[in-house]
Amino acid sequence: MKINTKEDIINYFQSGYKKSLLIGVENEKFLLEKDTSVRANYEQIKNILNYLKKFGWEEILEDKNIIGLNKDGQSITLEPGNQIELAGALCNNIHEVCSESYNFQKQLDEACEKKNKRVLTISEQLNRNSGKMNISVLKGPCLAKELARKNQTSVIIANKNIKVAKWIGKQISTKYYLIEYSKDIIGIEVCSAIKNIYSMIIGSGQSLNTSSSLFHRSLLEMKYLTKYFGGKESTTLGLAGVGDLYVSAAGGRNSKMGSYLGKGYTFKTAKKKFMPNDTVEGEQLVREIAPFVLKKINKKKIPLMINFINAILKNKKININ
């Protein structure tokens, strides 16, 4: 093919356009010794792969050695450096992708716990050298569809060095995308995560009066948890705290699921009946943090969180008074 003009290039790429577009994602993981953080060797990886077969994965062999697994259009392969990679199936939307990634992570976590390993993602690998790196976080009430419509949106960037945060903000801010700044990296991260759980709790209220009361109590618990994990209480009253909580409770997937729970459905029933293809971040977070929260944190300080965790883990009807 001869290319003489810009249109020739455009036409070439358009000729390969597929009307039916699907999403495929790869997840890459490093496995380390739990106590020493030494990279796992092949024999250890082999034990992990063999354990994963209990979840329905079929082994891929090379000279009688297991080098990967297959299941339902997905494959787990052993990559250079003893890296484990999930090549996901073709998905229709980002929610299916998220669900697939979450299920893989959950299975891998169980295998690692049984085999005394822990998972280290690429981002965590970078964070191990955080003493040499300058890390920033960006959070806040930002619905993608509204940002795409150029609705006024405010977010917050946190960095220990405000000058760096402001430099980043200058690069990405617009007339409709406004930036605030903070040094409280931990507080911003904690608020951004736990608001997913509390928006489900607020959504379970079956009247504005009830939801308002739950909003108030949720904010008090968020302040306690933010301080517990080393963040500042004042961060809870900013964009990453009350701001993001408001947006999530007003119309996000978490509050939608919460409304079904408030009507008396258990989580599994509501998920299957009403939201089979939706990612519910609050439920996923509950399962991740429950062991620590139930063991380490004063239950009297966070009664909403404790009751909600128990309802999800035991698949019982929610009972929040």
Residue ranges covered by each domain of the chain: 26-127, 184-313
Mean pLDDT of the chain: 88
Is the pLDDT score of 208 beyond 70?
A: yes
Share of the chain above pLDDT 70, in %: 94
Task: Specify the 3-state DSSP secondary structure of 214.
Answer: helix
Handedness of CA 311, 312, 315, 317 (dihedral sign): positive
Tens-digit pLDDT profile for residues 232-258: 999 999 999 999 999 999 988 999 999
Beta strands 117-121 and 26-33 are: antiparallel
Q: pTM here?
A: 0.67
pLDDT, greater one: 106 or 222: 222
CATH topology of 26-127 equal to that of 184-313? no
CA 272 to chain centre: 20
Mean pLDDT of 197-211: 95
Q: What are phi and psi of 4, to 5 degrees?
A: -115, -20
Helical spans, DSSP H, in the chain: 6-14, 42-52, 94-114, 122-127, 144-148, 162-172, 185-203, 208-228, 244-251, 253-262, 267-274, 281-296, 303-313
| 74, two tokens | 């997905």
Q: Domain 184-313 - what CATH class?
A: mainly alpha
Mean pLDDT of 10-29: 82
Q: What are phi and psi of 241, to 5 degrees?
A: -100, -95
Is the pLDDT score of 297 beyond 80?
A: yes
pLDDT of residue 121: 47
Q: Domain 26-127 - what CATH class?
A: alpha beta
Is the pLDDT score of 321 beyond 70?
A: no
